[in-house]
Amino acid sequence: MALPGFHIYLASKVFEKPIASIHYDLQHELAGFARPGEEIAGILSFTLVTALPLQGGGLNWWNLPRQKVNTLSQAEKLSYLQNNKQFFPYQLGYLYTHSGKILHQAAPGVDLQPDDQRITLQGHAFLRNNVWVLYW
């Protein structure tokens, strides 16, 4: 198992802008976890919320399957992202999971105060031979 990964956003006005990447969690494809002739199953991404700003925090997400993205022009993608964003609010101490196949982004902070922090533990897993393999 790899070391855990933390996303740490401190009180800076830069974190009030949408600077986090908009992405699918594809690390399992890029890291070469699949053995020859093997399909990775049971993909899982998780977020444990350990600190939130006073005004809260969460996840922006879009209902846009990866296969559909490849059929859109750049202008269509931008239009979709601007007009179809949804927000999922986090709660302190909660663990959230999803398939990783959801287009998502760490949502920007709102009116960040000098002592605000947004800290989450991020992780990923996949199922291989009925055993969960965890990685950062």
Quote the CA–CA distance of 21 and 24 in Å, as a whole number. 10
* Mean pLDDT across 27-56: 84
Partnered with residue 103 across adjacent β-strands are 62
% the chain with pLDDT above 90: 73
Quote the CA–CA distance of 13 and 34 in Å, as a whole number. 41
* Mean pLDDT across 106-125: 96
Write down the pLDDT at residue 48. 97
The DSSP call for residue 23 is B
* Mean pLDDT across 43-61: 97
Write down the pLDDT at residue 36. 75
Domains and CATH numbers, the chain: 5-135 (2.60.120)
**DSSP H/E element including 115:** none
Q: What is the DSSP string of 56-106?
A: --EEEEE---HHHHTTS-HHHHHHHHHHS-EEEE--TT-EEEE-S-SEEEE
Write down the pLDDT at residue 3. 62
Residue 2 clears pLDDT 60, i.e. is over it? no
- pTM value is 0.87
Residue 49 clears pLDDT 70, i.e. is over it? yes
Cα separations in angstroms, 98 against 60, 65, 116: 13, 14, 26
Report which of 37, 48, 25 is spatially closest to residue 126, judged by C-alpha positions: 25
Report which of 117, 124, 123, 88 is spatially closest to residue 10, judged by C-alpha positions: 117
% the chain with pLDDT above 70: 95
